[in-house]
């Protein structure tokens, strides 16, 4: 039985053509791109091409606006810390409650250092209130950082509009577009976005390579100082093989953009409808009408996500969960809690995230596998009776909580 | 994914005694608010002998919560209530060949359900006295509440104090930032400020110590760590010193267990800090056969 991989928001397999493109840069093309001789020069040319491939995918005006980094997290940190360093008199930040830890942990740390962070709330469908946002924009704010697409639910934020609003108030705007790049069309030259983060391993390039897009003219302070690589904006000898790979992956993503938004979306919808048609007390989290084409996040009430994943895994199906127990923390996903999803459902959320490698047969196998697993676990659940949730579950089962 | 033992997986995939028990006369319902897990333990107790003749569970929780519940019901069936109350959460974890540190609270929940069920049978009210916090030390599964309470109760002020009293931070040391934050918070309540200790004790350069001083310091470190091992029903003894190799014997509850390696690492680090040179700590097993994990009370 072939395994089925539906965890592409966690990471993706490297496209075979991408592997092929990068391999020579471990062997004959080993030169340092900064060197003058021909060993280095050829690598330098390859990096230039990769930069242009990235530029094309995100519609940047200049290829020099692309800065290669070591990962999405580094891009996020660089963007925020740069804005604070460059504008020391501005001591506030605006972000959202549902960002990735790459942003949230940094913001919490900055609060300890005396910065004020405004966390925009979301409603039950994970949507922002732009009036609340407008009121917070002021000349005290160093940077706004809002993700383009949520990694757990796929919900899209109106970042282009929010960037316009920030720009009108003279505030810098950064977006963590790690989940969006390659899945939704992006044209930065017609936007007011100042900085944007990309992570290679989410779009079929290897792990450990990322990009920070930096609009020409936006004030910047590097995180790493040293050599003159990346025009002095990110020192350190370039990870040439991975940069070449990321370039190739961006070109692939560009040519699969339509496929992603038609075929992959159709598979996702088939999976979601197939499961919901058979499983009672299950619902989609986030904003179903406005989300990534590859992501669906379903809450199965009264059971726990890790248990679901273990049983899925036994059948060779890989997905992920927002339950506390899979995150290594004690809390269920902060995204689910921000949306006000009750504990008994938040713990039972399962994220299925597809890629262009998934097939209809795979999706049908998952549709067949899920209902019996849910039923099996509900049989063990104190909230579940013979044929459905017990009446008044909160009163009928009221454990003493620690 | 978690590293679950075969036994945990087996109990999760084929849970024993799951489902309602209609003739139950002792029911315990407990949950862990932070983790969201919840468990209903149902027992049928023979009133004459107070023996548990049947046990079953319903659990809302992760793989190890289900496995811990299943294991617990198997363990206590046939015991009298008083015997059952001797089953500790560590016993549940041991029965399952161990649980990952993040998951130890599942065994705690099992133990609490047992207490609650017995109290229910005896017409008493069971109150939970244990609070759970975010896991700080992953090597020894120690959470923030435990550290904070210990710091408060004992007026601790350094990371080393915390290691000595709770073991937290004594392994890989990655959690020292988290421990420092707790110290800073509690010290601020006392009106003091947290001062990081001098980058570990002022140490003599390698080879500068006299042999006598060296042996003394080694013995000191051993004496320092013994209380915390003894609390976990273990012990450590100095056997021999041969140049940079220090032989110790590990005894009791954990000789040969996975925790031993972590403990040794921690002790070795403390030795190195005390001596200012590299030393290697080697466990020797004279009395316990290698790999045997002595189950307490077995
Ligand atoms: C939205 C988002 N931001 C940032 C990251 C971090 O990217 P990386 O793993 O490359 O550091 C991820 C991936 O986990 C993500 O989903």
Q: What fold does the segment set A16-253 form as a domain? A: 3.40.640
Whether the CB-CB separation of A33 and A240 falls below 8 Å is answered with: yes
Chain B hits for A325, CB-CB cut-off 8 Å, are 35, 37, 61-65, 102-103
Say what the pLDDT of residue B219 is.
Answer: 87
Asked if residues B282 and B248 have their Cβ atoms less than 8 Å apart, the reply is yes
Write down the domain spans for chain A: 4-8+256-382, 16-253
User: A121 by DSSP, 3-state: which?
Assistant: coil
- The closest alpha carbon to A117, from A141, A97, A93, belongs to A93
Q: How confident is the model at residue B228, as a pLDDT?
A: 78
Give the closest residue to A246 by CA, choosing from A80, A69, A103.
A69
- B83: CB partners within 8 A, 6+ apart: none
Residue B107 CA to residue B130 CA, distance in Å, equals 13
d(CA A352, CA A363): 10
Identify the structural domains of chain B with CATH numbers, from first to last.
Answer: 6-121 (3.90.1010.10), 135-205 (1.10.10.1100), 211-283 (3.30.300.130)
Among A306, A398, A402, the residue with its CB nearest the CB of B29 is A398
Closest CA to B167 of B218, B226, B222, B228: B228
Pocket test for ligand 1, best of A96, A152, A178 (most atoms within 8 A of CB): A178
CB B81 within 8 A of CB B121: yes
Contact A162, A133 (CB under 8 A): yes
**According to the model, what pLDDT value does residue A163 have?**
98
**Max Cα distance, chain B (Å):** 73
Does the beta carbon of A73 lie inside 6 Å of ligand 1?
yes
The answer to whether B128 and A401 have CB atoms below 8 angstroms apart is yes
Indicate if A250 belongs to the active site. no
Nearest-CA neighbor of B35 among B98, B112, B121?
B112
Q: Is A175 exposed, middle or buried (0-12, 13-18, 19+ CB in 10 A)?
A: buried
Cα atoms in the 13 Å half-sphere on the side-chain side of A147: 30
3-state secondary structure of B158: coil
> CA-to-CA distance for B76 and B74, rounded, in angstroms?
6
Pairing of strands A210-214, A66-69: antiparallel
Beta carbons within 8 Å of A166's beta carbon, 6+ residues apart: A137, A144, A172, A173, A192
Q: How do the pLDDT tens digits run along chain B, 298 residues long?
A: 568 999 999 999 999 999 999 999 999 999 865 567 889 999 999 999 999 999 999 999 999 999 999 999 999 999 999 999 999 989 999 999 999 887 888 888 899 999 999 999 999 988 876 677 788 988 888 889 989 999 998 899 999 999 888 889 988 889 999 999 999 999 999 899 888 865 444 444 445 678 888 888 888 888 888 887 777 778 888 888 888 889 988 877 555 555 677 778 888 888 888 888 888 888 886 544 433 333 333 3
Q: Which three-class secondary structure state does DSSP give residue A129?
A: coil
Residue A395: exposure state from Cβ atoms within 10 A (0-12, 13-18, ≥19): exposed
Provide CB contacts within 8 A for A128, sequence distance 6+: A96, A120, A121, A122, A146, A157, A158, A162
- pLDDT for the residue B201: 44
Choice among B35, B62, B172, B293 that is catalytic = B35
Task: Say if CB B168 and CB B183 are below 8 A apart.
Answer: no
- Take atom 14 of ligand 1 and give the residue whose Cα is closest: A10
Average pLDDT, chain A: 95
Is the CB of A206 within 6 Å of ligand 1?
Answer: no
Residues 6+ away with beta carbon under 8 Å from A354: A6, A8, A264, A267, A268, A271, A294, A295
Interfacial residues of B (vs A; Cβ cutoff 8 Å) = 1, 9, 12-13, 15, 18-19, 29-40, 57-66, 102-103, 105, 108-109, 112, 116, 126-128, 130-135
Could you report the predicted ipTM of this complex, rounded to two decimals?
A: 0.85
Report which of B97, B70, B58 is spatially closest to residue B15, judged by C-alpha positions. Answer: B70
> Which of A324, A328, A380 lies nearest to residue B58, judging by beta carbons?
A380
* Sheet hosting strand B26-32, strand order edge to edge: A400-401, B26-32, B37-46, B51-60
B6 is written with which tokens? 């075969």
Are residues B61 and A330, on separate chains, in Cβ contact within 8 Å?
A: no
- Taking the Cβ of residue A332 and every Cβ of chain B, the question of whether any pair is shorter than 8 Å is answered with yes
Query: How many Å lie between the centroid of ligand 1 and the Cα of residue A263?
Result: 25
Question: Contact A358/A271 with Cβ under 8 angstroms?
Answer: no
Query: Which residue, among A360, A80, A322, A350, has the nearest Cα to A196 in the 3D structure?
Result: A80
Ligand 1, closest atom to CA A210? 10
Rounded Cα distance between B159 and B156, Å, is: 8
Candidate CATH numbers 3.40.50.720, 3.90.1150.10, 3.40.630.30, 1.10.150.310; the one for domain A4-8+256-382: 3.90.1150.10
Cβ of residue A147 lying under 6 Å from some atom of ligand 1:
yes
Give residues with Cβ within 8 angstroms of B35, minimum separation 6: A324, A325, A330, B61, B105, B132
- Report, as ranges of residue numbers, the positions in chain A whose pLDDT lies below 70: 324-331, 394, 401-402
Residue A142 parent element (H or E): strand A141-145
Among A230, A242, A254, CA closest to A201: A242
Question: What tokens were used for A306?
Answer: 């890790």
Mutate to test the pocket of ligand 1, among A202, A209, A297, A353 (most ligand atoms within 8 A of CB): A202
| Nearest CB partner across the interface for A382, out of B35, B58, B133 | B58
Q: Are A86 and A110 in contact (CB under 8 A)?
A: no
Beta bridge partners of A156: A149
């Amino acid at each position: 039985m072939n395994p089925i991989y539906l965890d592409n928001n966690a990471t993706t397999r490297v496209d075979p053509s991408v592997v092929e493109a990068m391999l020579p840069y471990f062997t004959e093309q080993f030169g340092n791109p900064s060197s003058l001789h021909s060993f280095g020069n050829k690598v330098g040319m390859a990096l230039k091409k990769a930069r242009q491939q990235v530029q094309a995918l995100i519609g940047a005006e200049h290829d020099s606006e692309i800065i290669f980094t070591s990962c999405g997290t580094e891009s996020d940190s660089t963007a925020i810390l740069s804005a604070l360093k460059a504008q020391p008199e501005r001591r506030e930040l605006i972000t959202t409650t549902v960002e990735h830890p790459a942003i949230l942990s940094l913001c919490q740390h900055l609060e300890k250092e005396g910065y004020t962070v405004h966390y925009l709330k979301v409603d039950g469908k994970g949507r922002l209130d732009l009036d609340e946002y407008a009121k917070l924009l002021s000349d005290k704010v160093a940077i706004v950082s809002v993700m383009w697409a949520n990694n757990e639910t796929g919900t899209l934020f109106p970042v282009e509009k929010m960037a316009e609003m920030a720009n009108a108030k003279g505030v810098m705007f950064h977006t963590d577009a790690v989940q969006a790049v390659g899945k939704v069309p992006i044209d930065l030259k017609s936007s007011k976005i100042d900085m944007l983060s990309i992570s290679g391993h989410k779009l079929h390039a290897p792990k450990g390579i990322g990009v920070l897009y930096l609009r020409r003219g936006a004030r910047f302070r590097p995180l790493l100082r040293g050599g003159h690589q990346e025009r002095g904006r990110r020192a350190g000898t370039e990870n040439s093989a991975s940069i070449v790979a990321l370039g190739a992956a961006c070109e692939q993503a560009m040519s699969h953009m339509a496929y992603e938004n038609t075929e992959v979306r159709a598979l996702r919808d088939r999976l979601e409808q197939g499961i919901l048609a058979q499983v009672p007390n299950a619902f989609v989290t986030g904003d179903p009408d406005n989300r990534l084409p590859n992501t669906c996040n379903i809450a199965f009430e009264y059971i726990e996500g890790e248990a679901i994943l273990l049983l899925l895994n036994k059948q060779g199906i890989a997905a992920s969960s927002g339950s506390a127990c899979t995150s290594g923390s004690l809390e269920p996903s902060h995204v689910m809690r921000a949306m006000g999803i009750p504990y008994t459902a938040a713990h039972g959320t399962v994220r299925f995230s597809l890629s262009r490698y998934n097939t209809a047969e795979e999706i049908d196998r998952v549709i067949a596998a899920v209902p019996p697993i849910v039923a099996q676990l509900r049989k063990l659940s104190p909230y579940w009776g013979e044929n459905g949730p017990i009446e008044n579950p909160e009163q009928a089962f009221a454990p003493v909580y620690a | 994914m978690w590293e679950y033992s075969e036994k945990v997986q087996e109990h999760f995939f084929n849970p024993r005694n799951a489902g309602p028990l209609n003739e139950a006369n002792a029911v315990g319902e407990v949950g862990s608010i932070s983790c969201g897990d919840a468990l209903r333990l149902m027992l049928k107790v023979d009133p004459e002998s107070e023996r548990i003749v049947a046990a079953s569970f319903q659990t809302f929780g992760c793989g190890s919560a289900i496995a811990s519940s299943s294991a617990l019901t198997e363990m206590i069936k046939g015991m009298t209530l008083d015997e059952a109350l001797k089953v500790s959460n560590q016993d549940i974890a041991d029965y399952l060949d161990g649980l990952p540190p993040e998951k130890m609270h599942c065994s705690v929940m099992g133990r609490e359900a047992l207490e609650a069920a017995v109290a229910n049978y005896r017409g008493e009210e069971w109150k939970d006295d244990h609070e759970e916090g975010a896991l700080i030390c992953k090597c020894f599964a120690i959470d923030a509440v435990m550290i904070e309470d210990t710091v408060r109760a004992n007026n601790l002020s350094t990371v080393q104090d915390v290691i000595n009293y709770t073991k937290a931070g004594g392994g890989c040391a990655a959690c020292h930032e988290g421990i420092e934050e707790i110290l800073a918070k509690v010290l601020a309540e006392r009106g003091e400020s947290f001062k990081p200790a001098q980058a570990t004790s002022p140490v003599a350069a390698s080879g500068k110590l006299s042999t006598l001083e060296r042996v003394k310091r080694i013995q000191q470190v051993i004496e320092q760590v013994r209380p915390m091992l003894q609390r976990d029903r273990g012990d450590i003894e100095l056997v021999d010193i041969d140049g940079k190799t220090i032989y110790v014997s590990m005894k009791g509850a954990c000789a040969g267990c996975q925790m031993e390696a972590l403990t040794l690492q921690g002790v070795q680090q403390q030795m190195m800090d005390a001596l200012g040179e590299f030393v290697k700590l080697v466990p020797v097993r004279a009395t316990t056969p290698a790999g045997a994990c002595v189950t307490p009370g077995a």
